[in-house]
Structure 1
Amino acid sequence: MIIPKTREEIELMRESALVVSRTLGMLAKEMKPGATTNQLNKMAEDYIRSQDAIPGFLGLYGCPSTLLTSVNEAVVHGLPTDVPLKEGDIVAIDCGAIKNSFYGDHAYTFEVGEVSAETKKLLKITKESLYIGIREFKAGNRVGDVGFAIQNYCEAQGYGVVRELVGHGLGRKMHEDPEMPNYGRRGRGKKFVEGMTIALEPMINLGTYKVKQLSDGWTIVTQDGQPSAHYEHNIALVNGKPELLSTFDYVYEALGIVSDEEKEFRNI
């Protein structure tokens, strides 16, 4: 069952989402060769707690960490380790926080030093597909409209769109209705309603869409060992239009990137 939020609840969710946004921005400065994902995990936990929030992933479904850190061919749910990051790696950082009894949950894929042109393109297309999907999250549309838009854009570039893992509704629980696949058919699935809040998160592979789980019971990797990218935003349906609750602005500030990609989705 979809749980619409009041405007007041949406503002509380924005506070939760922005804790995660600031955490990702803080971590952006640390994405250097030699850093370990365990170090990043500790920094994230300390920062989230300093914001009068608590880590949203830690303990959820038995998760042992504050961050999920997915390096190179890892798609999602990678567990932090003491293995140093190296030049040319990519690492998707997925982070959650609870504040005001609501969850924030979003993700960004970082470059470590200089990455290949092929990998850069994968990251670019995956992030673009996120905003293409967000544009379809509007009054009158359905879940399949969002999934179709993401799938169509990414598959046209020759990339694999992961099927087994999907976005989701978000609120007082990390996972609410509806599921938000990154593939689908137009006009299919649940209809969007005013006040609903979702986490949309394309997971796109350089090669095959097929994935497998490692023996740690968490990490999902591509079957062919090629890189995967993952970006995630939290969005509310307000006055029939998508409104971002999270932002990549803190990441961009840390990395010296100028972007207006979020402008159309802000309540200004």
Structure 2
Amino acid sequence: MPISRFPFFSSKRRSSEAFSLLRRFGPSKRIQSCNYGKSSRNGNGKPESNPLVNVDIQAPRSWGTYVIPGALLGFVGLAAIFHYNDERRAIPKGQGNKSSGNFVKGPIIGGPFTLIDTENQTITERNLRGKWVLLYFGYTSSPDVGPEQVQVMAKAIDKLEAKHTIKVLPVFVTIDPQRDTPSQLRAYLKEFDPRITGLTGPVSAVRQMAQEHRIYFKKVEEEGDDYLVESSHNMYLLNPNMEIVRCFGVEYNEDELADAVLKELKRTQN
């Protein structure tokens, strides 16, 4: 009869739609559903006792699947940023710019130190505060570049004091403390200018200061017990707060060095 069949097909259609909704929006675990369609009826027209429809829907991934890789990527990115910033702040070894120089704002390089001078007196960074300092790392056995740089430093400070009445303290730090004793340093620097303060000390203390100032040096063995020391030959200008404000390379002569120091002092005063 047409009238009796309409509810049947309507019921079947609603059951199919319900099943479809369960597949789309149902829980992530296994679910059960009764289907009262035609195929589930027994001979008496009644639904079967427990017609189960098993629907397996894949459970969502745990939070660890996304958080752990994200944390690793974030750590790698943070490490790269720190490395990049550190490379940007470092002054290139053995380089200087004649036109503008390497300007450094704040105590980016350098740090506290404890050495001894040519009179065997303990010297720290506190003894140099309040003065403009021209700092050079070298050694008394240097055959060529070292003596030239010490001479340039001595003539530059002499020009600043004679022509501009500006006093800058020259400081020579040895990178060969095994041979450069206080007496050896005193005799060596006296040949250039007695105003130069010579510093030496234990190997570990000298190495630490050189590393903090990003000074490269390496012992090169020669015949017998003799050796040379390769170095970056950097010269720094420090303000009275012991902050490095300028770096000079080996390309500066005494006039250019004196003019650059004078320009930096005037810039700071203004």
TM-score band w.r.t. shorter chain: under 0.3
Give TM-score scaled by structure 1 length. 0.24
Q: Tell which structure's C-alpha radius of gyration is larger.
A: 2
Give TM-score scaled by structure 2 length. 0.24
Between Structure 1 and Structure 2, the one with more strand by share is 1
